[in-house]
Amino acid sequence: MSKHFPITLVVAVLLSCVAPQIVRAEVADSTIEMFVKDALRDDSQVDASELTVTTKDGIVTLSGSVTSLAAKQYTVLEAKKINGVLGVIDRIAVLPTYRLDTDIANSVRRRILNSVVINSQDIKVACKDGVVTLTGAVDSYVEEQQAGLLASEVQGVKEVKNNIITNWSSTRTDQELKGDAVAALERDVYFAGLPITVSVKDGVITLSGSVGNAYEPNRAYSDVRWIPGVKSVENDLTVKWYENHGVRKQKTVPSDSDLKATVRKALDYDSRLNAADITLRVSFGHVTLDGFVYNHYEQNIAVQDTKNVVGVAWVTNNLFARVDKRADWEIAGDIDFNLDTDALTEGFNLVVTVKDGIATLSGNVHTWYERSHAYDVASRVRGVKRVINTITVSTDEWKKNVELVKTIKGRLKSNWTTWWVSNKINVTVEDGVATLEGDVNSWKQRLKADDIAQHTAGISGVDNRISVKGVEYPWDEYHF
């Protein structure tokens, strides 16, 4: 979508030159195709009825149609996460509900103006035949990326051309940027120990080396793109069948002081938030975030950054948001507008109330993903201190408990992140609520298992009791 997101996947299958200890069996095309079809069919976020999946030499081709640009992007990303996928060719057409171009442009413009992330007032929005074009100048890549994201979520949008220019004023040296990029990849649970090389010239980072699946080049790009001072990223990572992740098989247990230092860097080097007033407490993998940030969006980013660090097993969020004061009715009006024009939540009778900057969402949706997306939409509006999500999920797809258990177990086995530990996760389902138990190696595996269960069609709730190996969990803080 954005001109600043060049990802080149050079597929290489070099099994003959791999040391025996890191070889894993090549996944057959027929198996990959089955995994992808099952994953999309059983995902509550995807309507796979109009999609076709074919696979050749590990490359998956997706064709057919979906009803929104956000659904297309989600479908492609989920296919990349399947075990054995080396790359994805996207031939999906977006056929949304028709809206006037002027209505689409006005919706995108208002969402940009009420966004807590975008400070620049110089973004122009045009729309023709459902294709949105963004132009203008901003002061950071964060604003550029967020504008594109907001546009892609609007009902009626077929494509987004992000021609926004970022004005760079950084004086950081290439050596500083390289050090930050290397550190960012090393602390990410996806990449610790992988053969990735970083080089920097004139503020442009180049990533080379190899990763284990098609999703990871996207993630590596994001890890380094958020570093302050980076102009752009050239992504030359290759995807190899045999690449193995030590972090997924070996438990990394850093000392409290080392983990605290690593989390500190993750927060300080993320250009999406101001972490100066965040303090940390660390005890045996349990990280507590105290202090304040400047909006609810930054709070979410701080929590996510912490969860992604190698060695983190639990995060307690004690952060509060110091926001610019806005009238409650203004905040509620903007949240209502965003939800009503969003491709995913449009049509649901969601109720928004705001008191002292705290937004409460209520109503009913069909999937857990729709519920969490509504939360995200509300959290990005200016003036929001906190979001209380009381939206209920009433699935319209009923399945027997035993069928849901089988589906979730199959999805855990097919996903690249969880297949390593899928046999360690016990799944039970009662009245549409899935309970997950077991002991895994990393926080990312725990979160991904939760995500897979939540997005399974027919599931209305998830009780995630999975623990990360060797960590004592503060279950008294756990709220299902």
Query: Do residues 244 and 19 lie in contact, with contact meaning Cβ atoms separated by under 8 Å?
Result: no
Give the pLDDT band (50/70/90) at residue 13: very low
Q: Give the model's pLDDT for residue 375.
A: 94
| Among 83, 440, 419, residue whose Cα is nearest residue 250 | 440
| In a shared domain, residues 431 and 452 | yes
| In a shared domain, residues 75 and 134 | no
More confident site: 229 or 198: 198
Q: Tell me, yes or no, whether 422 lies in a domain.
A: yes
Give the DSSP per-residue string, 214-245. Answer: TTHHHHHHHHHHTSTT--EEEEEEEEETT---
More confident site: 105 or 187: 105
| In a shared domain, residues 83 and 110 | no
pLDDT above 70 covers what percent of the chain? 88
* CA 325/CA 329 separation, integer angstroms: 12
Q: Give the model's pLDDT for residue 470.
A: 64
Q: Tell me, yes or no, whether 217 lies in a domain.
A: no
Q: Give the model's pLDDT for residue 122.
A: 87
CATH of the domain at 25: 3.30.1340.30
Q: Give the model's pLDDT for residue 417.
A: 82
The count of domains in the chain is: 5
- Spatial neighbors of 114 by CB under 8 A, at least 6 apart, are 334, 337, 338, 381, 382
Locate all alpha helices (DSSP H) within 308-343, ordered by sequence.
328-341
More confident site: 6 or 448: 448
Q: Give the model's pLDDT for residue 101.
A: 97
Q: Give the model's pLDDT for residue 84.
A: 85
Q: What is the pLDDT of residues 131-188, one digit of tens each?
A: 999 999 998 888 999 999 999 999 999 999 999 998 877 678 999 999 999 888 888 8
pTM over 0.85: no
Domain boundary among 42, 62, 94: 94
Which residues constitute the domain of residue 265?
251-321
Q: Assess whether pLDDT exceeds 50 at residue 306.
A: yes
Q: Tell me, yes or no, whether 340 lies in a domain.
A: yes
Domain boundary among 142, 166, 190: 166
Q: Tell me, yes or no, whether 28 lies in a domain.
A: yes
Q: Tell me, yes or no, whether 226 lies in a domain.
A: no
Q: Tell me, yes or no, whether 225 lies in a domain.
A: no
- Averaging pLDDT over each range in 364-368, 378-382, 390-394, which range is the top one? 378-382
Q: Give the model's pLDDT for residue 248.
A: 38
